[in-house]
Amino acid sequence: MMLNVSIYRYNPETDSEPRMQDFQVDTGGKDLMVLDVLELIKSQDTTVVYRRSCREGVCGSDGLNMNGKNGLACITPLSETVKNNKLVIRPLPGLPVIRDLVVDMSLFYAQYEKVEPYLQNDTPAPAIERLQSPEDREKLDGLYECILCACCSTSCPSFWWNPDRFIGPAGLLQAYRFLADSRDTATNERLAKLDDPFSVFRCHGIQNCVNVCPKGLNPTRAIGHIRNMLLTRAT
């Protein structure tokens, strides 16, 4: 069975504009992962460029847009995405393309950096470690698992229009991860930095982020928690 695959090709150094290139791939009748198909395509045309590393959904390198939906190529089986024997693969939307399926993630990382994604605690460090009750530790579940693949932020219209001012679902999920941490003492300072009309409040609850997260995380819920914290702090 030959699968029809259409791949976004663009080399800003030599091409005046992007184009789609069609390939026929022999899947051997197996339900391969999209990343396997890309490897097969690379054996046909070595100039096709994409990122990947772990090939098992932990590194977050191969976030791609497959038949219109963002996801990790390595853990997306063909049966989940292919319709009418056709697979269209594009880079993650909204970020500048470096080459073919590889995007420049600088804007995405800049937003991540803004939320200061590290524990801040100005009390003297204890001899061994800062302890946390099992209940407090539980509050971090569904937050710490994020692999920063950017599938969520690049599917969010608010992030497309304001990637320089709206932190986006991935960054906000991490913002809440540190707001919710019982060991972090910078809660107020963190909240103060989020109270402008863009950083958090550009989220209109469209939930595209929830829909695509390959780790099954829920940024919209975390954003709701941040909003409630801001509200409690201000009223």
Partner 1 sequence: MVTAVTSFGRSGLSDWLLQRISAVILLAYFICIGGTLLGGVDYASWKAMFELTSMRIFSLLAVLSLAAHAWIGMWAVLTDYLTERLMGNKGNVLRIAFQILCSLVIFVYVVWTVQILWGY
Per rule CB under 6 A, is residue 55 in the interface with ligand FES? Answer: yes
User: Which stretches does DSSP call E strand in 10-73?
Assistant: 19-26, 63-66, 69-72
Q: Which is nearer to ligand FES, 39 or 116 (CB)?
A: 39
230 binds, among ligand SF4, ligand FES, partner 1, none (CB under 5 to 8 A by kind): partner 1
Q: Which is nearer to ligand FES, 52 or 227 (CB)?
A: 52
Q: Note whether 163 and 105 are within 8 A (CB).
A: no
Residue burial 201-218, b: 16+ Cβ < 10 Å; e: rest: bbbeeebbbbebbbbebb
Q: How far is the CB of 3 from ligand FES (least distance, A)?
A: 20
220 binds, among partner 1, ligand SF4, ligand FES, none (CB under 5 to 8 A by kind): ligand SF4
What's 35's DSSP letter?
A: H
Give the burial class of 114: count Cβ atoms within 10 A of its Cβ; 0-12 exposed, 13-18 middle, 19 or more buried.
Answer: middle
Q: Which is nearer to partner 1, 57 or 94 (CB)?
A: 94
What's 65's DSSP letter?
A: E
Q: Please select the residue that binds ligand FES; options are 32, 74, 92, 101, rule is CB under 6 A.
A: 74
Scanning 10-18, 32-40, 116-124, 197-205 for contacts with partner 1 by CB under 8 A, the matching segment is 197-205
Considering just the CA atoms, what is the radius of gyration of the chain in Å? Answer: 20
What is the spatial distance between Cα 139 and Cα 123, in angstroms, rounded to a whole number?
22
DSSP symbols for 183-230? T---HHHHHHTT-STTTTTT-----HHHHH-TT---HHHHHHHHHHHH
Q: How far is the CB of 193 from partner 1 (least distance, A)?
A: 5
52 binds, among partner 1, ligand FES, ligand SF4, none (CB under 5 to 8 A by kind): ligand FES
**Residues found near ligand SF4 in the complex (CB under 6 A):** 146-152, 156, 158, 169-170, 173, 203-209, 213, 215, 217, 219-220, 223
Give the residues lining the site for ligand FES (CB under 6 A).
52-55, 57-62, 72, 74
Give the residues lining the site for partner 1 (CB under 8 A).
158, 161-162, 164-165, 192-202, 227, 230-231, 234
